[in-house]
Structure 1
């Protein structure tokens, strides 16, 4: 990601970016003064933190990656992970934020994240808000645990028809989101891939029930922009021939530098074509692909 790319695409001056990043560093310092016990707060990539400090202090002109951090909270002896990604626009843009807790069932987990995102969306922009999000979670998380599920009158029938979703995101940078995307897909035995960067592309394939559960959970996270662009269904009912991947993985096709930003679209097309899915490139991007081979 070059300086020109960011300023042109996101309409931010270098001075404004520096100002925002300085605010982020100050907020992180305040958080660390409160959550000082080992493991309570974690910066996901210390190299990124160093890059931000160098950029703010004028020792580097290279724009750093987004800051990822995790706050680990104990609420009534239950562990909640508050995962946060701060873009260059924060605090004037919402943080990407979501909660991980493996004791909640999927519907409760999704609802907790939706409610937290709604709360953060209602806060005043231009002011740091991670402390507010932490306080909201401390005050409200237990309520999602205590809600009793109504017994089902009849056991729901899983939809075993196969389906494939092509998901388009403005960007996928957050390391915690990327981990959650892969972990949840593996948990639900879904195959496909996630291509991080800008834009971010995700393909998931499997049974309709499993893919829908994965999509409901992932889209409940706070995204700048994410939507399902193409849906394909197995109309023939031949699972073996419809499914094109044997596992779910993250794939990276880098065309510059050593960091995960803009991807090489020619390499993406080759990857799709190798899986007999080359036709989808034009449907997603609206242009014909140019393979590097």
Structure 2
């Protein structure tokens, strides 16, 4: 007999409750405050239809756990549960600021291998948490050793990574604050075009750009995509390759008489002018699929 969505969500709630008891301290368990109540409301719905307010939560349940802390380094486990988990495997990603990109990749490869060895259809997030607790120490030790060795070496070449990100719109003040705070923390330059559509460009070290991309999407930004990536290698500082000197807040004049309503479209002609001023006019067609026209203003 096929397993239903309700049965899967009931199991997910049981596991979330178990995890909440394992991580009771503030900051250890990060979960959207409406996620669990929305699922509970759905489970009380007798007709079994997915209600409109469940549209996002029903697709995936996302949360983050602060799993362990050694060498003054925190290891987090980011978890995305598809609607049909545990019948469908979860997406798990362990990360730590203390791990280099390659070490983080190795940690997650080993984690994925362990999870795939478990019985299909069983709850496995608690098992993943325990595995990360038991196995993250060697990676952190290696990271500490390699960092000490790397400090004695001379870096010959560096790579500048630039990401062009498109969103249907960017309005909310708290989202904009998160974007700017994250870019500042990761030493990324670029810009955020507020309005409809929304465009973000970040440039810097590849691992920092990729962390920015993960962080701004968490927990539930769905209408966003990375349209284009550029990589440039230099024997000097990557700062010499940057197109932007800081992280700019772009807000162009709205197209048409929309006032301050949340459905206004930005003047893309002005945006094209901005791109051309920063040697990036070719990006317009990549972002929007059409050749740009300069503003008449």
For residues 26-45 of structure 1, what are the structure 2 equivalents within 5 Å?
26-33=14-21, 35=22, 37-39=24-26, 41-45=28-32
2:208 aligns to what? 214
* Aligned residue number for residue 256 of structure 1: none
Residues 18-61 of structure 1 deviation map (CA, whole Å, 9 limit, x = unaligned): 3332221121122234x154337524221222112112221844
Alignment partner of 1:131 is 2:126: yes
Give the Cα–Cα distance (whole angstroms) in 2 for the partners of residues 214 and 101 of structure 1. Answer: 12
1:212-251 mapped onto 2 (5 Å cutoff): 212-215=206-209, 229-231=228-230, 243-244=243-244, 246-247=246-247
Distance 1:89 1:285 in 2: 34
Partner of 2:13: 25
CA distance in 2, matches of 1:280, 1:155: 35
User: Structure 1-normalised TM-score?
Assistant: 0.59
How far apart in 1 are the matches of 2:31 and 2:68?
A: 20
Aligned-partner SS, 1:50: helix
Distance 2:78 2:27 in 1: 12
Q: Which residue of 2 aligns with 1:280?
A: 283
Per the alignment, residue 103 of structure 2 pairs with: 108
Give the corresponding residue for 1:3.
Answer: none
Structure index of larger Rg = 2
Native 8 Å contact 2:192 2:201 kept in 1 = yes
How big is each residue's C-alpha offset from its partner over 1:170-204, in whole Å with a ceiling of 9 and x where there is no partner?
xxxxxxxx999876643342123689xxxx98632
Structure 1 Cα separation of the partners of residues 69 and 292 of structure 2: 50
TM-score after normalising by structure 2: 0.58
8 Å contact kept, 2:158–2:233? no
Distance 1:143 1:240 in 2: 37
The answer as to whether partners of 1:55 and 1:64 remain within 8 angstroms in 2 is no
Q: Can you give the 5+ residue segments of structure 2 that lack an aligned partner in the other structure?
A: 168-175, 219-224, 252-262
The farther-off stretch of 266-275 and 79-88 is: 266-275
Give the distance between the partners of 1:193 and 1:23, measured in 2 at CA. Answer: 42
C-alpha separation in 2, matches of 1:141 and 1:167: 32
Residue 112 of structure 1: SS of its match in structure 2?
helix
Structure 1 residues without counterparts, runs of 5 or longer? 1-14, 170-177, 252-263
Among residues 137, 145, 162, which one is paired with 1:164 in the alignment?
A: 162
CA 75–229 in structure 1, closer or farther in 2 if over 3 Å, else same: same
Equivalent position SS for 1:46: coil
Aligned CA-pair RMSD: 5.1
